[in-house]
């Protein structure tokens, strides 16, 4: 039973990986990666890593892949198949054949080296079925076991990982926000004639709290207030 499940999941994982590398459309590559991740979760379950398998499905195949799908839909980006790339796509024929040979050689060498390193070790346990396992509420790999390890022995790693996530979130916001000067035609501030006539507070929060100034005097006052950094005047359409 576990052998059948292993071969199904391993076949799914490897074919998903092949699909990611080979498929032309990036969207299909993302879908192939989702299949690959689900198959890997089955392999994790077979290795008694229940919590990691659940995290794999929820975080990886769920959240991260949704992020990928959004960016692929936003950016689009025409794909290039690996065959085209290796064939050189027209003018660079010699480069293409060199790349094909080099890529095949490199990958073959890497695979052989990895297999030798992983399977040719002197460790006899590699050929075994793993350490003894007895099911229970706090057995190996259950959430209770992982949680206890994370909050005692690996507390520092846990904190560093959370801090790393914070840094990544801030970095992504900084990277992907709109900047002036970079997007020159997208969000240039247009001068609309009606803006010169209406008071600065119309249509902002300041109107709601009854602080509408007149059109003439309001402009300078509102600018003065917003320069003082007061949020209550609701500095209106301040650009950017």
Partner 1 sequence: MSIAWYLAVSAIVFSLGTLGVITRRNPLVVLLCLELMLNGGNLALIAFARMWGNGDGQILALVVMTVAACEVCIGLGMIVAIYRRRLPIDVDELRELQG
Distance between CA atoms of residues 119 and 40, nearest Å: 20
For the CB of residue 214, give the shortest distance to partner 1 in the complex, in Å.
40
Q: Is 54 in the site for partner 1 (CB under 8 A)?
A: no
Q: Is 202 in the site for partner 1 (CB under 8 A)?
A: no
Distance between CA atoms of residues 202 and 176, nearest Å: 31
Contact assessment for residue 173 and residue 203, using Cβ atoms and an 8 Å cutoff: no
Residue of 38, 42, 56, 222 that binds partner 1 (CB under 8 A): 56
Of 47 and 212, which has the nearer Cβ to partner 1?
47
Distance between CA atoms of residues 67 and 212, nearest Å: 43
Q: Is 192 in the site for partner 1 (CB under 8 A)?
A: no
Residue of 93, 98, 136, 171 that binds partner 1 (CB under 8 A): 171
Residue of 73, 101, 164, 192 that binds partner 1 (CB under 8 A): 164
Per DSSP, which regions of the chain are E strands? none
Distance between CA atoms of residues 50 and 34, nearest Å: 19
Residue of 38, 44, 213, 236 that binds partner 1 (CB under 8 A): 44
Q: Is 218 in the site for partner 1 (CB under 8 A)?
A: no
Q: Is 150 in the site for partner 1 (CB under 8 A)?
A: yes
Burial of 183 (0-12, 13-18, 19+ CB in 10 A): exposed
Residue of 35, 54, 62, 68 that binds partner 1 (CB under 8 A): 68
For the CB of residue 238, give the shortest distance to partner 1 in the complex, in Å.
22
Residue of 125, 191, 196, 197 that binds partner 1 (CB under 8 A): 125
Residue of 90, 91, 135, 178 that binds partner 1 (CB under 8 A): 178
Distance between CA atoms of residues 175 and 167, nearest Å: 12
Site string for partner 1, 5-24 (x = CB under 8 A): -x---x--xx--xx-xx---
Q: Is 42 in the site for partner 1 (CB under 8 A)?
A: no
Residue of 35, 54, 62, 79 that binds partner 1 (CB under 8 A): 79
User: What's the Cα-to-Cα distance from 1 to each of 7, 8, 81, 136, 240, rounded to whole Å?
Assistant: 10, 11, 37, 21, 62
Distance between CA atoms of residues 63 and 225, nearest Å: 43
């Amino acid at each position: 039973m576990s052998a059948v499940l292993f071969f199904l999941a391993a076949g799914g994982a490897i074919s998903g990986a092949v699909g990611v590398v080979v498929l032309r459309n990036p969207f299909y590559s993302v879908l192939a990666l989702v299949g690959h991740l689900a198959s890997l979760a089955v392999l994790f379950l077979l290795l008694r890593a229940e919590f990691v398998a659940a995290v794999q499905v929820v975080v990886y195949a769920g959240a991260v892949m949704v992020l990928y799908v959004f960016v692929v839909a936003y950016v689009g980006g025409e794909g290039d198949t690996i065959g085209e790339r290796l064939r050189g796509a027209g003018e660079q024929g010699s480069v293409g054949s060199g790349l094909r040979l080099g890529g095949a050689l490199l990958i073959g060498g890497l695979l052989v080296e990895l297999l030798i390193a992983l399977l040719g070790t002197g460790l006899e346990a590699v050929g075994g079925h793993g350490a003894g396992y007895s099911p229970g509420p706090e057995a190996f790999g259950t959430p209770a076991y992982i949680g206890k390890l994370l909050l005692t022995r690996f507390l520092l790693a846990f904190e560093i990982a959370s801090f790393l996530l914070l840094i990544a979130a801030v970095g992504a916001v900084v990277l992907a926000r709109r900047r002036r000067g970079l997007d020159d035609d997208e969000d240039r501030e247009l001068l609309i004639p009606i803006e010169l006539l209406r008071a600065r507070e119309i249509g902002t929060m300041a109107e709601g709290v009854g602080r509408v100034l007149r059109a003439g005097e309001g402009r300078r006052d509102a600018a003065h207030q917003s320069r003082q950094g007061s949020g209550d005047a609701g500095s209106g359409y301040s650009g950017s």
